[in-house]
Amino acid sequence: MKITDQDIIHAARQLRDEENEQLHVTPWHRHHRFHVPSWLVTIPAAALIGFLLGIWFNGKTKNNMPLTAMTDTVYIKVTEPSVKADTLTHTAPQPVFVRTKAPKVKHYSPHPSPGRSIAEDKIRYDLLVKN
């Protein structure tokens, strides 16, 4: 086949198209936009995440801690009932039973009682008023 100028031009353009089709062309915005190194993003992001996780974790554990772990010193103000002089002299009127009778000496039975001890009742039986 006799080759003309047009055959050469046509073949050259076909070669061009084949080669151009195989190229990988990066989109413009990937070239153009300011490219930040990955480490410059990763490190501050990791620090921020760590900071937020720290706050969250610290808040969670603080509730379970004893009071002394949360504060260095705990001051507890104890208010003692002040005893006034006039309260000693003027006693409140007491029941006759209490005023007149001396407290009984407790008699313990040599045999253990089958019931519960009155000490366990936590009731001041000696203050009971007899009607």
Summarize as ranges the residues that interact with other proteins (CB under 8 A).
Answer: 1-3, 5, 7-9, 11-16, 19-20, 23-26, 28-29, 31-32
Query: Whose Cβ is closer to other proteins: residue 26's or residue 38's?
Result: 26
Note whether 62 and 70 are within 8 A (CB): yes
Nearest approach, Cβ of residue 31 and other proteins (Å): 5
Exposure on the CB side of residue 105, measured as CA atoms within 13 A = 1
Q: How far is the CB of 39 from other proteins (least distance, A)?
A: 23
Burial class (CB in 10 A: 0-12, 13-18, 19+), 87: exposed
* Of residues 31 and 99, the one with the C-beta less far from other proteins: 31
Answer yes or no: are the C-beta atoms of 30 and 36 closer than 8 Å. Answer: no
Nearest Cα residue to 96 out of 48, 49, 129, 69: 129
Q: Whole-angstrom Cα distance, residue 126 to residue 131? A: 14
Closest distance to other proteins from the beta carbon of 36 (Å): 18
Nearer to other proteins, 31 or 77 (CB): 31
Nearer Cβ to other proteins (11/118): 11
Nearest approach, Cβ of residue 2 and other proteins (Å): 5
